């Protein structure tokens, strides 16, 4: 598959995904006191690809971009932990098949342990992110997909591009994993766009608040983070995503949160989205990253909100109307019959909106 950055004559948008992203196959997931099957299964890639098929999108294998971009948004200790953790873990007597913490720090920024067991508790913020033998390779290629999409937009090869990232990334903070997320693909994409544009906005429409993305850019004025999500008073990640969180220091005012009540449907969501888009317009970014979660769908296994397939099409049309160079980065959206259709509805509507803009220009 081609990796050049010349403008494509193929209809549709560029889709970046590596087959190596499927190698991460987590087994451990503890929720409500029970060990359950992890919902972030490799088959999510196939289900999402079903929504891309027959739409004319150019599906490309990303090039290897190394660790450059992930190290711009994550600490060296954290990246080194992910890269080496499983190998060191396996050397422990009676070690399980995956790195799973059994101790977490109770004080912020406490001493950094030398033991991989202690480091697991330091970096893995919940029990949804086991590190297996292939996790590092898979999540790094995930980041390569996001980087390739962002570079295509940054260099002007495309006005928009989509990175099919799996596992997702928006719960991964500067030095921690959480909520199935290990490396923050949307944050890396924003850093790449920042190399060209002075201001970049990230719009997160996943059903969960993107706490990792918020933490990465909390004190920066050059990247705006806007999120619509299930109310954290009742829903994961619980400790981030409240309306009063608005950034800090130089980033005061550049974090904008719209927590939504359980069961919010299309019309109520669109009203909140319109307010979110007004905040983006007022900020005046040169480019946009969309953390594209599809788990706000009414029948998603992790359902909290009540969006429909038609609702995703309406959301996409409004985002497209911003007219900004845009990188779409896949976040959540789990195994249900409509997952591929929801992605197809979003991408199709987004592209139709772009085509209409081009015709009227």
d(CA 343, CA 331): 11
Is cis: bond before 176, omega within 30 of 0? no
Cα radius of gyration (the chain)? 19
Catalogue the active-site residues.
Answer: 171
Using CA atoms, how far apart are residues 179 and 125, in angstroms rounded to an integer?
A: 8
SS (H, E, C) the chain: CCCCCCCCCCCCCEEECCHHHHHCCCCCCEECCEECCCCCCCHHHHHHHHHHCCCCCEEECCCCCCCCCHHHHCCHHHHHHHHHHHHHHCCCCCCCCCECCCCCCCCCCCCCCCCHHHHHHHHECCCCCCECCCHHHHHHHHHHHHHHHHHHHHCCCCCEEEECCCCCCCCCECCEEECCECCCHHHHHHHHHHCCCCCEEEEECCCCCCHHHHHHHCCCCCEEEEEEEECCCCCCCCCCCCCCCCCCHHHCCCEEEEEECCCCCHHHHHHHHHHHHHHHHHHCCCEEEEEECCCCECCCCCCCCCECHHHHHHHHHHHHCCCCCEEEEECCCCCCCCHHHHHHHHHHHHHHHHHHHHHHC
CA-nearest of 345, 338, 336 to 311 is 345
């Amino acid at each position: 598959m081609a990796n050049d950055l010349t403008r494509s004559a193929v209809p549709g948008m560029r889709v970046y995904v590596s087959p190596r992203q499927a190698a991460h196959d987590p087994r451990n997931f503890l929720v409500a006191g029970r060990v359950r099957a992890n919902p972030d299964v490799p088959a999510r890639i196939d289900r999402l690809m079903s929504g891309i098929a027959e739409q004319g999108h150019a599906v490309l294998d990303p090039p290897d971009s190394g660790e450059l971009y992930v190290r711009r948004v994550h600490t060296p200790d954290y990246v080194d932990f992910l890269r080496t953790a499983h190998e060191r873990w396996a050397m422990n007597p009676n070690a399980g098949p995956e790195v799973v913490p059994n101790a977490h720090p109770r004080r912020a920024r406490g001493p950094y342990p030398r033991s991989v067991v202690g480091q697991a508790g330091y970096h893995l913020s919940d029990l949804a992110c086991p590190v297996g033998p292939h996790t590092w390779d898979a999540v790094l290629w995930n980041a390569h997909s996001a980087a390739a999409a962002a570079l295509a937009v940054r260099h002007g090869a495309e006005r928009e591009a989509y990175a099919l990232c799996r596992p997702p990334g928006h719960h991964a903070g500067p030095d921690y994993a959480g909520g199935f997320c290990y490396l923050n693909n949307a944050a890396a994409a924003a850093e790449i766009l920042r190399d060209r544009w002075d201001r970049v906005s990230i719009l997160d429409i996943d059903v969960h608040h993107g706490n990792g993305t918020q933490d990465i850019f909390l004190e920066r004025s050059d990247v705006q983070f806007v999120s619509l999500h299930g109310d954290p008073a009742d829903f994961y990640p619980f400790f981030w995503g409240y309306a009063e969180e608005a950034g800090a220091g130089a980033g005061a005012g550049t974090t904008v949160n719209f927590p939504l009540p359980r069961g919010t449907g299309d019309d109520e969501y669109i009203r909140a989205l319109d307010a979110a888009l007004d905040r983006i317009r007022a900020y005046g970014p040169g480019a946009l990253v969309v953390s594209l979660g599809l788990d706000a769908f009414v029948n998603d296994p992790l359902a909290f909100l009540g969006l429909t397939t038609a609702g995703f099409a309406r959301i996409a049309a409004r985002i497209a109307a911003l007219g900004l160079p845009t990188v779409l980065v896949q976040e959540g959206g789990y195994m249900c019959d409509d997952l591929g259709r929801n992605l197809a509805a979003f991408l199709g509507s987004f592209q139709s909106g772009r085509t209409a803009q081009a015709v009227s220009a």
